[in-house]
Amino acid sequence: MRALIYLLLLLPILGAQAAARTPFQIRCEDTISKTVSVLTAQQNGYSIDTHLPYKALTVMKGVARANTWVLGLTKTDSQVKIALAGPMLQDPVSGYECVAPQIAVSLSYAPVMIYIGREFAPGTCAYDEILAHELRHMKTYMEHLPRVEKIVRAALAKRFEARPLYAPGGTAKAALAREIDTGWLPYIKAEMRKVEVLQAAIDSPQEYARLSKACNGEIQNILAGKVPPPK
């Protein structure tokens, strides 16, 4: 994780080569709470909107394949929240302090909105096909959350290893907060954004071709204006 800057100084106290623990180290490691990293993922459901024409959905998407219309669109925003706490002890002799970071990470998506062009009336074959396609997008978002949770949980465990962190007096929490803001937050957001590669794969040329021929040409006839729009 190149973006992560470790500003906290971890004293060399582990392993066979480590010196005997100081009284301050004993206090830190044996009396304050162990490092805790809590990570939760949440899914917030979805709604369907059929008020916009497919041409408006094409504009809304912004980037579409050449010579194609966007018949349906799935929109959401990823949300990452990190709460930081942890007990702290200070040592006036050495001038150092120790903190047991307690990091709570929450991953979620804003409620998903599925748009389907208003030209495709609910209950029709065309509507059902477009909805099924968009539900694949939603399913991909929802399945991505536990994958990110697993990756981030492992990275947090490796970084903090259930041990207190040591730093010069008055600097530990500020340094840890900088690490969260400049390292962990961008890292987690980047992991969340990886879902867009999977979403792009769903909108393949083959899938567009399949949809264009679905329902015995019903979708193509609507796009060509051969079928009157629903009232």
Give SS3 for 97: strand
Confidence of residue 5 (pLDDT cuts 50, 70, 90): very low
Upper half-sphere CA count for residue 178 (Cβ side, 13 Å): 8
Report CA torsion sign: 219, 223, 224, 226: positive
Say if 154 falls within a structural domain: yes
Whole-angstrom distance, CA of residue 55 vs CA of residue 62: 11
- Between 100 and 64, name the one with better pLDDT: 100
| Nearest-angstrom CA–CA distance, 35 and 38 | 10
Q: CB count, 10 Å around CB of 119?
A: 22
pTM: 0.80
Please say if the pLDDT value at position 148 is more than 60: yes
Residue 44 banded pLDDT, cuts 50, 70, 90 = confident
> What mean pLDDT do residues 91-119 have?
93
User: CA-to-CA distance for 98 and 176, rounded, in angstroms?
Assistant: 11
Looking up tokens 């970071």 gives 101
Residue 2 lies in a domain: no
Give domain status of residue 15, yes or no.
Answer: no
- Are the CB atoms for 162 and 34 separated by under 8 Å? yes
Inside any domain, residue 138: yes
Model pLDDT, residue 16: 32
Report if residue 24 sits inside a domain. no
pLDDT confidence band for 19 (50 / 70 / 90): low
Does a structural domain hold residue 167? no
Q: What pLDDT is stored for residue 3 in this prediction? A: 37
**Mean pLDDT over residues 99-107, rounded?**
92
Residue range of the domain that includes 196: 37-85+102-161+172-223
The stretch 93-104 carries a mean pLDDT of 92
CA–CA distance, 127 with 83 (Å, rounded to integer): 42
CA distances from 87 to 27, 34, 97, 103, 130 (A): 12, 9, 11, 12, 53
Q: Structural domain tally of the chain?
A: 1
Which tokens belong to 107?
């991953």
Could you tell me which residue, 28 or 3, shows the higher pLDDT? 28
Q: What is the DSSP string of 22-66?
A: PHHHHHHHHHSPPPEEEEEEE---EEEE--S-HHHHHHHH----T
Assigned domain for 206 exists: yes
Q: Is residue 30 part of a domain?
A: no
